[in-house]
Structure 1
Amino acid sequence: MNMKKGAQQYAQMNKQTGIEGANPHQLIGMLYQGALDSLQQALGCIDRKDFEGRGRHLGRVITILGGLQSFLDHEKGGDISKNLDNLYEYMTVRLYDASREKTREPVEEVIKLMREVKDGWDGIAQQAQEIFSEQNQTVNG
């Protein structure tokens, strides 16, 4: 009985968050947006001297960055994958700096970097959709 209720809640969460039906490109875009939202919330916490909230939001972004790193395919991704891995690692270090220093500057720097990466990611949406459609046709065809 509890498993059924849990599955229903999970399905409802997927619908509410837009995950259901999203392709891999869209899912990564959602992670970027979630990170940006949490970074903005962390800035508000820094301004209010809400150290617990700051830590929670920065921790969420660090978790997202770790997830993004784990999705990188270093065999197929070549230099792009390596550069993104290094960038995600740098962002993580800067967020630890923000937590330690209790200042806005490292968070603002990560926001700028994250926006640049997200803009690039959003810019390849059409190409990603075409690749995803081709892969689905191959698998289902």
Structure 2
Amino acid sequence: MQVMVNKKAMEGYGRNAIESEVNYASPYRIIQMLMEGALARVATAKGCIARNEIAEKGHQISWCIRIIDGLKTSLDAEKGGEIAENLDSLYDYITRRLLEANVSNDVAILDEVTKLLEEIKAGWDGIPPEFH
């Protein structure tokens, strides 16, 4: 039981640390955090499939879809033009693939999603500081 209490305490600490960081983060950093969160949820979902934890896998994929939806709603088509349109389409594709992975328990689909998110994140991380 002690292990469970410590785990719950750590989860609470992690939540509080993230909330604190979000309160002081720039919009640029918030997008980075969303991408990091999406990647973490996909990785956790893969582990859930390996352990046959189907309900938790569904929870992790649903959480990732909500994050992707947040990224999608942050797009500004007026300022972002073609890049924003392409990201919008890519986020739609990622969401469809996540839904497929949830139904089929296909780790290969989650690997594909991971690669796509990593590419998007690498592009975001490559934005020069003066444009943050």
Q: What's 2:4 paired with? A: none
Per-residue CA shift, 1:118-141, capped at 9, x if unaligned?
Answer: 011011151333xxxxxxxxxxxx
Q: What's 2:64 paired with? A: 61
1:40 and 1:125 mapped to 2: Cα distance?
28
Q: Do residues 33 (structure 1) and 33 (structure 2) align? A: no
CA contact 1:39–1:58 (8 Å) conserved in 2: yes
Q: What's 2:93 paired with? A: 90
Q: Do residues 110 (structure 1) and 97 (structure 2) align? A: no
**Larger gyration radius, structure 1 or structure 2:** 1
Per-residue CA shift, 1:28-86, capped at 9, x if unaligned?
Answer: 00000000011100000011111011000000010011111111111111100000000
Could you state the TM-score of these two structures normalised by the residue count of structure 2? 0.84
CA contact 1:29–1:121 (8 Å) conserved in 2: yes
1:94 and 1:119 mapped to 2: Cα distance?
20
1:2-17 superposed matches below 5 A: 16-17=17-18
Q: Do residues 124 (structure 1) and 121 (structure 2) align? A: no
2:130 and 2:66 mapped to 1: Cα distance?
28
Q: Residue type of the partner of 2:105?
A: K
Q: What's 1:133 paired with? A: none
CA pair 97-124 structure 1, distance change in 2 beyond 3 A: same
2:16 and 2:24 mapped to 1: Cα distance?
9
Q: What secondary structure sits across from 1:124 in the alignment? A: coil
CA RMSD of aligned residues (A): 1.6
CA pair 83-55 structure 1, distance change in 2 beyond 3 A: same
CA pair 13-47 structure 1, distance change in 2 beyond 3 A: closer
CA pair 120-52 structure 1, distance change in 2 beyond 3 A: same
CA pair 125-16 structure 1, distance change in 2 beyond 3 A: farther
Q: Residue type of the partner of 1:16?
A: A
Question: Aligned residue pairs: how many?
Answer: 118
CA pair 14-96 structure 1, distance change in 2 beyond 3 A: closer
